[in-house]
Structure formats: C-alpha cells, structure tokens
Amino acid sequence: MRVEYINPFVEAAYNVLTEVLATEVKRGNLFLKSATKPVMGVAAIVGLAGEVEGRVLFDMSKQTAIKIASVMNMEELTEIDDLVKATISELANMITAQAVTKLHELGFKFDLTPPALITGDNMEISDQEVEALIVPMESPHGNIEINVAVRERS
C-alpha cells in the first residue's frame, strides 16, 4: 500500500474514535497481512474506488460493537439490533470519509461506497489479490481492527 495512504487512515481512525467515544484510544503496531483472516463478529465494509481500488474493513467483536454503539447513542444497548448496526455503519463511514478527505487534500482522489455491515460467527475474510494493512485500535470498550486494502490501478 502506498505510504502516503497510511497516515490519513490512522489519523482519521484515531480522531474519530477519540471524539465519538470521548475516551483515550491507543493505536497498536501496524502490520501487513495477505492471508485469510478471521473476522471477530461484526465487520463493516466500505469500498474505495477512483484512482485506486480497494476497501476498508472495520472488524470488532459483538461485545465491542454493542458497547461502542451504547456510548455513541448514550443509552444502554444489549444486543445487535438495528440501532447498533446503523451506529457501527455510521462509525465506519465517518472514519473512512475523514480519511478520504485527508487524502483529497494531499491530491489523491478516492470515492467511497456506502458501508455494508456483516455480522455472524466463525467468519473469515479472504484477500487473495491484495495485501491488507492492519491498524489495531485499542479502546476501553474493546479493540477494533481497521483493515485497509488499497492498491493502485495499474
């Protein structure tokens, strides 16, 4: 993944999560991954198009999703209902949009697709064609892994 793309995603994730959760979040070490990867339980996907092709995946456990949605909605939620799903989709949208805005300022033109939310147990994601950058974010409500797979159109 192009070096210039990394920081906008990391910064956007940090900024948005700090803001909506109103708490301290920590970024873990970035790493690259190309093999099949298990999904923790709730995954929001935002597609990227334009000068590049790829997608951003926000991966977290169901428990984390419920806790984050509770904080964002300022009410106690207990199960993955429509509100939780909408909240997590919105979170994914906010982070990706902010990253794309930052990238636009640097001169890279990205378009994004509406987020899709996938929930379930024992899921895996396969990226045979593209290497993914994993940005682990740690918050008191649980960990979120942001999985960015973008490549240049060649």
Beta strand segments in 40-95, E: 42-50, 52-60
Establish if 78 lies at the interface with other proteins (CB under 8 A).
no
Nearer to other proteins, 30 or 80 (CB): 30
Q: Shortest approach of other proteins to residue 27 CB, angstroms?
A: 12
Cβ at position 89, least distance to other proteins in Å: 28
CA dihedral 64, 140, 39, 83 (to 10 degrees): 30
Q: Which is nearer to other proteins, 54 or 115 (CB)?
A: 54
Q: Which of 154, 42, 54, 131 is nearest to 100 (CA)?
A: 54
In this complex, which beta carbon is closest to other proteins, that of residue 81 or of residue 152?
152
Q: Are 113 and 131 in contact (CB under 8 A)?
A: no
How many chain residues are in contact with other proteins, going by CB under 8 A? 16
- Can you tell me the distance from the alpha carbon of 13 to that of 144, in angstroms, rounded to the nearest whole number? 10
Q: Which of 22, 32, 76, 122 binds other proteins (CB under 8 A)?
A: 32
Q: Which of residues 121-140 bind other proteins (CB under 8 A)?
A: 128-131, 133
Among positions 2, 26, 104, 109, the unique one binding other proteins when judged by CB under 8 A? 2
Of 6, 30, 47, 24, residue with least CA distance to 145: 30
Longest CA pairwise span in the chain (Å): 48
Nearest approach, Cβ of residue 36 and other proteins (Å): 9
Binding site for other proteins (CB under 8 A): 1-4, 6, 30, 32, 34, 128-131, 133, 151-152, 154
